[in-house]
Copies of this chain bind each other. A is one copy, B any other.
Amino acid sequence: MSVQERKERERAQRHQLIVATARDLAESQGWEAVTTRRLAERIEYSQPVLYSHFRGKKEIVGAVALEGFAELTTAIRRAVAEDPEDRGAVSALAHAYIDFAERNPALYDAMFLLDTGLLFADETTPAPLREAFGALLETLGDIAGDTEPALFVEVFWSALHGLAALTRSGRLPQANASRRLDILVERLAGH
């Protein structure tokens, strides 16, 4: 049975190669440059191979997004751990979120902008998504006051996403991005 195991291992490796290549390409030239032909050329296989791993391009973007959620979770947890005070933690979380979006624009797009078919708040929601939401809940739940924690987290997250999305698309000027974030945190977390 060793042969089959090797094949599976190689398959898994190639699967990961596709995801990593798509991410690389997206981060360096934007998602519009991630075409099945370019992707196939980069991994040194023909296009149909992609379809033996993924249902289509959408699912490849989804796989990249999943990586993103895992990384966002650790980025948030790390930032909060460095500043565990209530108010400081919230601010650290917010800045970590925005930093993440700024440093991985294509990854962020895959997670929150592009259509990946990934289901959020649902029974079939992939673990990394739940985990990321959990990371937010851990620190933001404390300052929810009398509002339902999950709902408050969704609101906070939405506000962060709004800033990230509008800034990224050039609809908000790059300047004062940090001041905007501070205003938001003060109002949402304040007393």
Contacts and interface: CB of A to CB of B under 8 A. Distances in A.
Contacts of A120: 170-173
Dominant secondary structure at the A interface: helix
A112 B171 contact: yes
Interface string A137-173: 0000000000100011011011111110110011111
A161 B165 contact: yes
A180 B166 contact: no
The count of identical subunits is 2
A96 interface: no
A3 interface: no
Nearest to A150: B176
Interface residues of A, number: 34
A165 B165 contact: yes
B163 A180 contact: no
Contacts of A187: 155, 187-188, 191
Interface of A: 112-113, 115, 119-121, 147, 151-152, 154-155, 157-163, 165-166, 169-173, 176, 179-180, 183-184, 187-188, 190-191
B152 A163 contact: no
A173 B147 CA distance: 17
15 contacts: A112-B166, A119-B170, A120-B171, A121-B172, A147-B183, A151-B179, A151-B183, A152-B183, A154-B180, A155-B159, A158-B163, A158-B166, A161-B165, A187-B188, A191-B191
A155 B166 contact: no
A75 B173 CA distance: 25
A158 B170 contact: no
B112 A173 contact: no
A166 B176 contact: no
